[in-house]
Amino acid sequence: MSSVSPPPAGHPGSGLSRDEAPGGPTRSPRKRGGSSRKRGGGDRSMVPEADFQSYYGRPIVRPPVWTHDIAIYLFTGGLAAGSSLLAAGGQATGNAALRVAGRTTALGALGASTFFLIKDLGRPDRFLYMLRVAKPTSPMSMGTWLLSLFGGAAGVAAAAEVAPFLPDHGVLGLARKVLPPVGSAAGYGAAVLAPGLATYTAVLFADTAVPSWNAVYPDLPFMFAGSALASGAGVGLIAAPGRPARRMAVAGAAIELAAGHRVEHGYGMLSEPYTTGRPGKLLRAARILTVAGAVGAVVGRRSRVVSALAGVSLLAGSVLTRFGVFEGGVHSAEDPRYTVVPQREGLNKAGGNKVSGPAPTT
């Protein structure tokens, strides 16, 4: 570095000005979202109140242009993945009710996913341009291919469910005979792709400059995987409650809650947007619904109604999880604090040297 090293905090020209104003307080107590931020004893040690400079308080990184369509897509994509796993399980264990429910939900969720993804484009008529290239550095490119392949498989699997309603003779009769085995293969194919479909969205969010999405990349895929499993299990609990769906519900909820806890508390200041304001409320509500769903799935195993309610609770929890993560990231991009302070702290720790090198491998 040929540039001069920055002066220490507190000096004029330093990034962290701690000068007291001559004859007046430097800063008024900061208010966020209309109410004073709670600084309970637990919070205090975790996130120190950071002082920073910015250009008229404007965001540095640009908040995502994505609308809630993308939060909905996270849910529907996860639901498609979870329910196709459910369908494949039903297929393998001869549970027709699970298979049918899983396949139809997967197809419906897939249709919704495609709709919301295309709707969110600035030029929806150019959606096919997504398939011009395949780029591993672009999670969106990888995801589009994954979604397309999954869509083919899940579509065929769902189409196979009409076989019993076809006539015995003629071309349709042939279809009646051919569809079940083809649907079976397609169902397994979709199940193989499903975990990728459910987790690539975490990379999609993490591979951005949005501070609170980028930082949590080690745990976000697990949070989304758990959420997808829980939502798939939710469909199972509604349509055909049984041991597999209950197990999947409990395991999915456990994975989601464990990973979610690390996202919300393990990243210092960059976890803050997930615990405060609207995203914090959404994620707290999601946690309650997910826990209620998992508990309901276990204790309600003798009641169809309780099982179905547990399923609804899991689905609602999954929706709110996605909205909470989406909005938490948007909030972290809107406030320049989350861009400046972590980078500045890193610089100060390293004595002014750039520390943006690769993160230590985990």
Asked if 333 and 281 touch (Cβ cutoff 8 Å), the reply is: no
49: contact with other proteins by CB under 8 A: no
Q: Which two tokens stand for residue 194?
A: 């499903």
Closest of 223, 232, 162, 224 to residue 190, by C-alpha: 232
Binding other proteins (rule: CB under 8 A), the pick from 152, 195, 266, 268 is: 195
Beta bridge partner(s), residue 24: 21
d(CA 303, CA 113): 32
Which of 105, 144, 212, 276 binds other proteins (CB under 8 A)? It is 144
Taking CB under 8 A as the rule, does residue 268 contact other proteins?
no
Name which of 355, 337, 347 is nearest 48 in CA terms.
Answer: 337
Task: Tell which residue, 151, 220, 218, has the closest CA to residue 186.
Answer: 151
Nearer to other proteins, 188 or 285 (CB): 188
State yes or no: residue 23 binds other proteins (CB under 8 A): yes
Query: Binding residue for other proteins (CB under 8 A) from 101, 107, 109, 130?
Result: 130
- From 34, 38, 41, 65, residue interacting with other proteins (rule: CB under 8 A): 65
Alpha-carbon distances of 55 from 24, 58, 335, 358, rounded to whole Å:
23, 6, 11, 28
Stretch that binds other proteins, among 2-10, 105-113, 164-172, 306-314 (CB under 8 A): 2-10
* Residues in 89-128 that interact with other proteins by CB under 8 A: 89, 92-95, 120-124, 126-127
Report the SS3 class of residue 13. Answer: coil
Size of interface with other proteins, in residues (CB under 8 A) = 123
Using CB under 8 A as the binding rule, whether residue 132 contacts other proteins is answered as: yes
- Site membership for other proteins, residue 171 (CB under 8 A): no
Instruction: Assess contact for 97 and 137: CB atoms under 8 A.
Output: no
* Part of the chain binding other proteins (CB under 8 A), chosen from 40-48, 151-159, 162-170, 220-228: 220-228
Rule CB under 8 A: choose which of 75, 116, 150, 222 binds other proteins: 222
